[in-house]
Structure 1
């Protein structure tokens, strides 16, 4: 059974999109369309990085033993823990898809208007 829905997700998503629009407006005011495109590149970079990591261990000590121990722990986990992990990763991936879409939109708008203007 899926967990009950709460209004926090859409509210936080809307707040983040409003904050990103404010940052884009600020970047446009300071640098112009180049700033909007650069902000889009940054947002897209962060979203793709999170998508590639998929909630795996990160940091300067990324050794094969660290990855092997995490995969071993996932293999030995019971079905409830694996389902919980899949749900958490799915929720994280929907947020990164939204970040990728927002970053791509800012890149298209920023660099598109830079080259058209």
Structure 2
């Protein structure tokens, strides 16, 4: 039997809109402070955080990312039964949407910021 997707929660799109508005508020502040390069750097920061969150998944993070830590995590995954693996996959699927949105917004800020910087520098 396939695991069912997590239930749809109505506050998801509302929170995404609020976070997007706050992010573009920060982008406006970055534009005021440093112009296109500030918006581009903010986009790089958002993209870096989103990619790091996506790569780490549901694993513990810490200052010492050693091979032993990774090996113990994969041993734990190998010992998990089918229900635990299905639950882990459904959690990762639920997190994929907001992470992809953050990546998209980060790329959008990078294109806007560095594109504006490029256009202003080439028009001189």
**What runs of 5+ residues in structure 2 fail to find an aligned partner?**
none
> What is the match of residue 84 of structure 2?
81
| Number of equivalent positions | 117
Say which of 9, 17, 26 aligns to 1:14. 17
Structure 1 gaps of 5+ residues are none
Deviations 1:80-103 (A, max 9, x none): 211110011122222221111101
Mapping of residues 1-117 of structure 1, within 5 Å? 1-117=4-120
Q: Which shows bigger deviation, 95-104 or 50-59?
A: 50-59
Q: 1:53 to 1:3 in 2, by over 3 A?
A: closer
Work out whether residues 6 and 90 of structure 2, in 8 Å CA contact, stay in contact via their aligned partners in 1. Answer: no
TM-score (norm 1): 0.88
Runs of 4+ in 1 over 3 A off after TM superposition: none
Q: CA deviation at 1:74?
A: 1.6
* Contact 1:33/1:114 (8 A) holds in 2: yes
Question: RMSD in angstroms over aligned alpha carbons?
Answer: 1.5
Contact kept in structure 1, 2:46 and 2:106, CA below 8 Å: yes
Aligned counterparts of 2:35 and 2:66: Cα–Cα separation in 1: 43
